[in-house]
Amino acid sequence: MSHKLRAAFLDMLAAERGAAKLTLEAYGRDLEDYAAYLKAAGSDAQRADTALIRAYLLHLVDLGLKPASTARKLSSLRQFHRFLMAEGLRGDDPALVIEGPRRASAAPKNLSPDEVERLLKGAGEGLDDPERPALERMRACRMALLLELVYSTGLRVSELMALPKAALRSSAALVAVTGKGGRERLVPVSDRAKALAKLYLATLAEAAPGLAAQRWLFPSISESGHMTRQAFARDLKTAAGAAGLDASKISPHVLRHAFASHLLQNGADLRVVQELLGHADITTTQIYTHVLDERTKAMVRDLHPMTRGE
């Protein structure tokens, strides 16, 4: 497999699918490993057959790779072989019939609605207390707003950190967000989030007027100019501990999971949740099928005439 072919494949992913930089780097590493194995076997991607690809996967297992990592590498080379066939560089796809390794279907960590309510309630106390120093009030308002936005919109933490200040100054019920691969989507913003944003921006102007002049909703002195994911995760664990929750099970991503899970538990359609989360593929959203399974069981139990009176 030549470097030129790999580069052409990665260019296609970037141009046609809007793949992010980190995604492209991961594909590049996977294909370099695959190319090295094929070269050692006296072959290349244009001549490799199904048996050789299976041997490569067994080689990965022997190296101690976990099923999830092996599955990701298989996905990379599957897409690469489809690309070769589409470009007329091969007449067949030797990876088409290969099944990926079985993986345990672990449900994502989640919080109950009561736990989220405790977290939100704890963060929302004493926000406008004039006895508190301005900087302390600003940080408290910022955390309350961050929590409200994550749980009410399901934004990725990177999307949340990069929100411009103008996003919540508008009276519009929807905010445009640029997600992975440069894809834009609209997310609804609650009235409570807008009220918290107004209070937070006022305390920010009072406590740190220099930062308040920046374009970001959550400005900081970091290289990016806005609050980092790590800073939010750290402050979130502090807020969780203050609310009497187990900080080890709480992160910005867990709150995003809570947003999706609680919507599905209350009857939302999986496709709607897919759009709100910004997933390009419905299969990514299907990690929440355990929620749908439980909801379906409950519907049968509560609504089917044969189960009444049991």
Which stretches within 223-269 are classed as H helix? 229-242, 252-265
- The reply to whether 290 belongs to the active site is no
Catalytic: which of 90, 192, 253, 290? Answer: 253
In a domain, 50, yes or no: yes
Q: What per-residue confidence (pLDDT) applies to 305?
A: 58
- The reply to whether 192 belongs to the active site is no
In a domain, 98, yes or no: no
> What three-state secondary structure class fits 174?
strand
In a domain, 154, yes or no: yes
Catalytic: which of 54, 59, 78, 180? Answer: 180
**289 and 163 within one domain:** yes
Bridge partners for 176 per DSSP = 186
**271 and 123 within one domain:** yes
In a domain, 302, yes or no: no
Number of domains present in the structure of the chain: 2
Q: What per-residue confidence (pLDDT) applies to 281?
A: 78
In a domain, 142, yes or no: yes
- The CATH number given to whatever domain includes residue 177 is 1.10.443.10
Mean pLDDT by 10 residues, the chain (310 residues): 85 86 91 94 93 92 86 91 92 88 59 93 90 93 96 93 86 84 87 93 94 94 91 94 91 91 86 87 72 53 52
* Token pair 């919540």 in the structure block, residue: 168
Cα–Cα distance between 177 and 168 in angstroms, integer? 12
Catalytic: which of 6, 73, 139, 256? Answer: 256
**166 and 79 within one domain:** no
- The reply to whether 3 belongs to the active site is no
**143 and 32 within one domain:** no
Catalytic: which of 27, 34, 56, 288? Answer: 288
Q: Which domain holds residue 141?
A: 113-297
In a domain, 119, yes or no: yes
Span 60-78, pLDDT tens digits: 988 988 888 888 899 999 9
Cα–Cα distance between 98 and 70 in angstroms, integer? 12
Catalytic: which of 137, 139, 156, 257? Answer: 156
In a domain, 102, yes or no: no
Q: What per-residue confidence (pLDDT) applies to 300?
A: 44
* C-beta separation of 45 from 5 below 8 A: yes
**154 and 56 within one domain:** no
- The reply to whether 229 belongs to the active site is no
Cα–Cα distance between 145 and 127 in angstroms, integer? 11
Q: What per-residue confidence (pLDDT) applies to 99?
A: 80
In a domain, 260, yes or no: yes
